[in-house]
Amino acid sequence: MVERLLGELPSVCALGEIVHLWQRDIRDDERCGCGARFSACTFWKRVGQVAFGGWTNVDVDRVHALRDVVERTRHIPRLAGANLPDAQRADVREYAGYYAKVYAAAAEVSGAAVVVDSSKHSALAHVLRWADDVDLRVVHVVRDARGVAYSWTKTVSRPETDGSDEMTRYSPGRSALLWNAHNAAFGLLSRRGVPVRRIRYEQFLTDPRAALRELADYAGVPAGDDDLAFLGDGYADLGVGHSAAGNPMRFTVGRLPMRRDDAWMRSLPSGQRRLVGAVCAPMLRAYGYPLNPAEVSQEA
Binding site for Zn ion (CB under 5 A): 32, 34, 41, 43, 242
CB of 228 to Zn ion, least distance (A): 24
In sequence order, the β-bridge partners of residue 237 are 255
Q: Which is nearer to Zn ion, 43 or 98 (CB)?
A: 43
What does 194-233 look like in DSSP terms, one character per residue?
Answer: --EEEEEHHHHHH-HHHHHHHHHHHTT----TGGGTTEET
CB of 31 to Zn ion, least distance (A): 8
Q: Which is nearer to Zn ion, 34 or 258 (CB)?
A: 34
Q: Which is nearer to Zn ion, 126 or 242 (CB)?
A: 242
Q: How far apart are CA 200 and CA 288, in angstroms?
A: 9
Stated as kind and residue range, the H or E segment containing 200 is strand 196-200
CB of 48 to Zn ion, least distance (A): 12
**CA-to-CA separations, 2 to 7, 9, 164, 173, 215, in angstroms, rounded:** 8, 11, 27, 26, 10
Task: Check: CB of residue 76 under 8 Å from CB of residue 126.
Answer: yes
- Which of 117, 135, 137, 259 minimizes the C-alpha distance to 186? 137
Q: How far apart are CA 113 and CA 141, in angstroms?
A: 22
Q: Which is nearer to Zn ion, 41 or 96 (CB)?
A: 41
Q: Which is nearer to Zn ion, 34 or 84 (CB)?
A: 34
What does 25-87 look like in DSSP terms, one character per residue?
Answer: IIIT--B-TTSSBGGG-HHHHHHHHHHHSSGGG--HHHHHHHHHHH-SGGGHHHHTSS---HH
Q: Which is nearer to Zn ion, 54 or 288 (CB)?
A: 54
CB of 97 to Zn ion, least distance (A): 24
CB of 238 to Zn ion, least distance (A): 14
Q: Which is nearer to Zn ion, 143 or 242 (CB)?
A: 242
In sequence order, the β-bridge partners of residue 245 are none
Q: What are phi and psi of 261, to 5 degrees?
A: -95, 100
CB of 44 to Zn ion, least distance (A): 6
- Which of 165, 104, 167, 160 minimizes the C-alpha distance to 131? 104
CB of 46 to Zn ion, least distance (A): 10
CB of 219 to Zn ion, least distance (A): 22
Q: Which is nearer to Zn ion, 43 or 186 (CB)?
A: 43
Q: How far apart are CA 93 and CA 71, in angstroms?
A: 11
